[in-house]
Amino acid sequence: MYIDNTSDIEIGKSVSIARNTEIYTHGHYHDGTPIENDVKSGRIKTSPLKIGNNVYIGASVIILASAENIGDNSVIGAGSIVTKNIPKNEIWAGNPAKKIGSVSENTI
């Protein structure tokens, strides 16, 4: 697992993060400035991430800085790339990840 930790990360209770997962809390501006200049100057944009309670993150998932919240009781399928917030009680998968189902309150 890799966590870049350039911004705050909050991980809830009973969270399972499978192998080879990558979590990023920073990105670069896309305004035509060469990336080398962003790195040298420290001009990167950061974003905190909150992972709720009872979340399952499958193997080889990539969570990008554009996602700031992974809701309680959610599931992220293996190999997914998360580019936006995931609401609670939802199952997401794919590249980019999208909702493919819901988690029943009765199964939690």
Q: Which residues are catalytic?
A: 28
CA distance 32 to 34: 6
The two structure tokens encoding residue 3: 């966590």
Q: How far apart are CA 48 and CA 75, in angstroms?
A: 20
Share of the chain residues as helix, strand and coil, in percent rounded to the nearest 5? 10, 35, 55
